[in-house]
Structures are given as C-alpha cells and as structure tokens.
Amino acid sequence: MSGRDHNTLGTATSPYLRQHADNPVHWQQWSPEALSWARERDVPVLLSIGYAACHWCHVMAHESFEDPATAQVMNENFVCIKVDREERPDLDAIYMNATVAMTGQGGWPMTCFLTPDGEPFYCGTYYPKMPHGGMPSFGQLLEAITQTWLNRRDEVGQAAASVTAELRRGSQLPTVAIEVGPALLDHAINAVLRDEDRDHGGFGTAPKFPPSALLEGLLRGYERTGDVRVLETVTRTAAAMGRGGIYDQLRGGFARYSVDAGWVVPHFEKMLYDNALLLRCYAHLARRTGSAFARRIAEETAGFILADLGTAEGGFASALDADTDGVEGKTYVWTPAQLADVLGAADGAWAASLFGVTEGGTFEHGTSVLQLRRDPDDGERYSSVRARLRAARDQRSQPHRDDKVVTAWNGMAIAALTEAGIACGNSAFIDAAIRCARFVLAAHVEQSRVRRSSLGGVVGAAAGILEDYAWLATGLLALHQATGETAWLTQAQGLLDAAVQHFIDVENPGEWFDTADDAEALLTRPKDPIDGATPAGASALAEALLTASVLSEPEAAARYGEHARGTIDRAAVILARAPRSAGQWLSVAEAATHGPIQVAVVAESGGGELSDVARELVPGGAVVVAGPADGAPLLADRSTCDGAAAAYVCRGFVCDRPVSDPDVLRDLLARRPGG
C-alpha cells in the first residue's frame, strides 16, 4: 500500500485529472500498477471517466468526490481510478461500450466497477448524492457493490465474463458486395434528407449535435450532382445553427450541442473539435455559394479558435467549460434589465428584440441565450451594441479552459484554418495553422510516432490513436497545398506510413484498429468505424490516404491509393445502412468519386489568377498545388506554356490539356463528373 494510499492526480498532464487532485478520494491514474494494487488488496476497481468541460462530471465531483465520508467509503473498499476520456479515448471506448451494453445508454461521468483484471461487472453514468427518480444514491451503490463483491463473488465473475466476451466480439464490418459510386452516394444522401427537420434545421430531434461532417459530405454531394435540395438542406442547417443560441453571437464559436430541437439552448461547453469541423464546413459553404453569412460565421469561428483557444506554445486548447463558478451558462446569458444596464434603455430594448431576450427568458431563472434570427436593420448600431455587450461580458467570470492540446483536434484545426484562410482570403489563419503544426510536430511527434496530448508544452504519456495520425496528416497535407512546401508533405507521409504499419487490421483488409499494435494491451483492442461527434479514426485516415495518393510521388501514391480505396470500399455498408453515422465516409467517398480532382498550377512564382480560380472552384476533397516546375510531386514533369503559368486539371488518372486562360480553367472546373 505504500505510496498508493493517497491522491496521485497532481502530477497528471490532464487538467481534468488535476481538477480532482484535491479530492479526499485516493484517486490513481490508470496504470498496470493501479490494477495490481486492487489485486493485492482483493478489492474491485472503481473507474470514473469524464472530461474537464463536463457539467455533470462537476456535479458528481462536488456531491460525492469532495465529500470526506463518501471518499472514506471509496478508499476503504475500492481502488479508485480517474481517467480523462479525451486523453485516453481507447479506455473510454472500451468501457463506454460496456456501459451501453449494460444500461442501454452512455454518457459522462461514466462510473464503472471492474475486477482487478479490468473486466467490467457493473456500469452506469451519473449517480446522485441522494436517491432521485428511481435512481439509487452513489452511497447506496457503493454499499451494494461492496456486499456483492464480498458475498456473491461468483455473480461478479459471471457478469464480468459475459460482458468481456461481448466486448471481444469486436466491431468487424459485415462483408457485402456494394459498389462505392454515384448510386450508393445518392442513396445515402436521399436517406439523410428524409431525416431533415425542415422546420428547425438539422436532423432528428433533441438533443441536436452539430452535424459538421455530414454537412461537409452533403456539400460535396451537391458539387457532384447540382441537386438544389441538397444545398438547401445544408444552408438551412447552417443558418439555424449560426443564428441560434448554440452559436456565441458575441464572440463566435459553437457550443457542443443544443438541448432543444430549435438550437436555442446550448449545452454551453465549447469544444475545439466541434469548432474546427464546423469552421471547415462554413468556409466551404462560403467558398461554394458566396454567402456573406457563411463567411461571417467562418471568420468569427476562426477568430474564436485563435483568441480563446490559442496556447502560448502555438497549439489550441481542448475546450471551454460548460460552467462558470459552478453555474451552467453563467457567463453567456442575459436579461432585458442587464442589456439596458450596459446599453441604455433604447439600445437595450432594441438589442433584446434583436437577440430574442425576453422577460420570461429562454433559459433558466428568467435569463435568455442570445440568438440572431434576423439580420439587423442597422448595421452600425448592431456593431456598436455587439462590441459593448462583448466588452461587458468579458468582465464577467469566465469558464475554465481545458488547456490540454490534443493531437487529433489540433490536426482538425490546422486543416480548417488553412482551408478557411484560402476561402476567406485571410493569411493570418494560415499563419496560425503553420504555428500550430510546428508546435505539434516538435512536441507530440518523434520519428513519426505520435503522442496523444500535451499540457503547457509537456507531452503526456498516452500514445496517439488512429485519429491523431490521420488528422495531423490531413492538416499537414492542407498546408502543403497552401504553401507549396514539400516538408509538410514529407511529414504527413511519415505519419501515414506509421499508421499503416501499426494500425491496420491485417486479417480484415480495409479495416483499422483505433490503437497501435504496440500500445498498452487492454481488455480489447478498440475498432469503431462509425462517425460520431468526431469522425471515426478509419474515415479520417481514409481522407488523409486519398489526399496523399494524389500529392505524393508515384510509388507512395500507388500505396496510399490502394489503402484508401480498400478502406472506402469496406465502409460501403455504413453508407448503405447508416448514412447519418457516416458523414466523414460520405465526404471521402464523394472526393474519390470526383477523381479526386487535382489541379497543378505550374508558375515561376505563386500561381496568380490560375491558382486563385482553382482554389475558388474545386470541390471539397480536391487538391491544388501551385509552384515552379518539379517543385512538388504533383508538379513533376509539368512545365509552363511558353513561360506563362499553366494549370493541369486531372480527375483520377485522366488529365485535360494544360491551360493558361483563367476563363478556360473555370469552364474545366465547372464540368461535373462524367460531363
């Protein structure tokens, strides 16, 4: 027991774990040693999984983990382990699957009771301090688990064995003969459109999560087909979210989800991954349609990422908390009286009408979340009101920030900022992406092997998972296209080669594990191909492989292309049967069906108007590289036209003749696949 019977979270590189460092609970970090201690003591493991911005995690911590009497029971009867789901998504995936299998639902905080071998025998989520709504109190649960462990150990063994066997059956995709092509993509898109909430935007009912990857896939589908129904669905949802309470109307950026169907009341935490994925979508929508609204949301969201999530080292923090001073949404909500106090009576009444702030309130205790359901009739007045409200809100207590820098989410941000910089003509976004990429490569990557996260520039022990390799590679490939610098391509190729070596499922070609073959051996080896709040690691890798297959030199291009096609083909069953859970797969499959389109602009310096036209008009998933002849693999063996810049447009392995006239290039890029 020496050295273990105390709280060890103070040395963690996770802000979430550090939030619990002062608990009277003898929390341990996940390790073989912690499990061994449970074996030595012959007690079960109490595993608590959450994350720093989680509202109900804070509630349970305050009610139970900060209570000395409850902590004493936990310490005497369990080895208590605390895990940050964002730092260890592999553990989260395993025990979330167990929780869903046992209870039919999941969520955080997750509360699991394990044998010392890590096998779950009872799982749940939040438990209250006192019994409520048919739910036992946390204390009652602890007593019941303790008595079961002491007196009915055979039942524990049977339950653990049953759940473990179910988990180990894995998530191998069924083998079906479905061709990935226009027919399948049209089927997937039409199925998604049938689920649209045309009254409020989005899909399904409350709670509503931003369908970022799905919107990107639909937008690429519109570019292929020209089907206005698809574009209307994207623009309806984009408008509903961007005008609703889920969007921060004063500082920009999106909350994690809306608790209602109308996008009015958010769950107030703001995640880097949501904002990066949505930035990518709004920037693409602005580029494709010229929408001033979409461009504004993209620019403001990028501004939020830079201003509110940027770290001193150049990376981006994971999240802003849902709570301020223990109160959910305290920073963000307003009453009519508060508006009048800041703005004066006349401007306060005008702002209340514009932002939907009512006497009854749209949130709790008569407060309202700001919405912007219509454009202001006085732009100058709006700008003044918004600036004054923002300044006043900045003086309020602010939510805690989770400063942990996660590789995958920073990769998403690198890609999104680069694409937004191009779409919005803002080089500052690209500069920020470059700074971030340099930091992540320096701190998180060694010889193409990736660590999951860092805090204050200090890298954590957790190994990178598949999404970390995939999204960082995607971001670096975007920078290669934006800058023409081959160093970004080389780094991305190293990551992809490592991913292929360590994550491939050799027994099921086209499938990928989420953890590396040399990572810590856990109860199972996670492999989830379904797109959720973030895309699956496999679908993210498919995009990176597909992009690299047309940017790389021939030998590497062929290798990446083979893996990309095999992965996309294997996921056809998801597009066929569960398209709402296949947004990233739809995006990648659409790009593959386009060719993907490649535009190589050969010019002595930059690419001039040809490069601008290409970047404006290519569909999502296409690649554009501009630079001198042989300056990058895509520019190899291509030359200018009598000294004038030349654009080479290829779809897959079929190329058009080089052109130097921007209008001719416009016509080439306006042609749809097969046209």
Other beta carbons within 10 angstroms of residue 530's beta carbon come to: 17
* Predicted confidence (pLDDT) per residue in 533-576, tens digit: 999 999 999 999 999 999 999 999 999 999 999 999 999 999 99
Question: CA–CA separation, 540 vs 542, rounded Å?
Answer: 5
List the strands of the sheet with 458-459, edge to edge: 405-406, 453-455, 458-459
What was the pLDDT predicted at 1? Answer: 38
Question: CA–CA separation, 402 vs 456, rounded Å?
Answer: 11
CA 263 distance to own-chain centroid: 19
Residue 406's SS3 state is: strand
Indicate whether 182 pLDDT > 80. yes
Mean pLDDT of all residues in 657-672: 91
* Predicted confidence (pLDDT) per residue in 430-484, tens digit: 999 999 999 999 999 999 999 999 999 999 999 999 999 999 999 999 999 999 9
The set of residues, in sequence order, having a beta carbon less than 8 Å from that of 520 and lying 6+ positions away, is 90, 463
Beta bridge partners of 122: 113
Indicate whether 624 pLDDT > 90. yes
What was the pLDDT predicted at 383? Answer: 97
Percent of the chain with pLDDT over 90: 92
Question: CA–CA separation, 475 vs 492, rounded Å?
Answer: 8
CB 455, CB 402: distance < 8 Å: no
Indicate whether 168 pLDDT > 90. no
Mean pLDDT of all residues in 24-28: 97
* Predicted confidence (pLDDT) per residue in 486-525, tens digit: 999 999 999 999 999 999 999 999 999 999 999 999 999 9
What was the pLDDT predicted at 171? Answer: 66
Tokens in use for 82? 């605390």
Question: CA–CA separation, 632 vs 621, rounded Å?
Answer: 19
293 burial type by CB count under 10 A (0-12 exposed, 13-18 middle, 19+ buried):
middle
CB 220, CB 620: distance < 8 Å: yes
What's the angle, vertex CA 19, arms to CA 363 and CA 45, rounded to 5? Answer: 110
Average pLDDT, the chain: 95
Indicate whether 658 pLDDT > 90. yes
Beta bridge partners of 258: 208, 266
What was the pLDDT predicted at 5? Answer: 79
Tokens in use for 479? 């920078």
Indicate whether 203 pLDDT > 50. yes
Element (H, E) at 623: strand 623-627
* Predicted confidence (pLDDT) per residue in 286-333, tens digit: 999 999 999 999 999 999 999 999 999 999 999 999 999 989 999 999
CB 30, CB 81: distance < 8 Å: yes
What was the pLDDT predicted at 607? Answer: 74
Name the pairing type of β-strands 110-114 and 120-124: antiparallel
Mean pLDDT of all residues in 235-260: 98
- Quote the pTM value: 0.95
Element (H, E) at 414: helix 407-424
Give phi and psi for 341, each to the nearest 5.
-60, -40
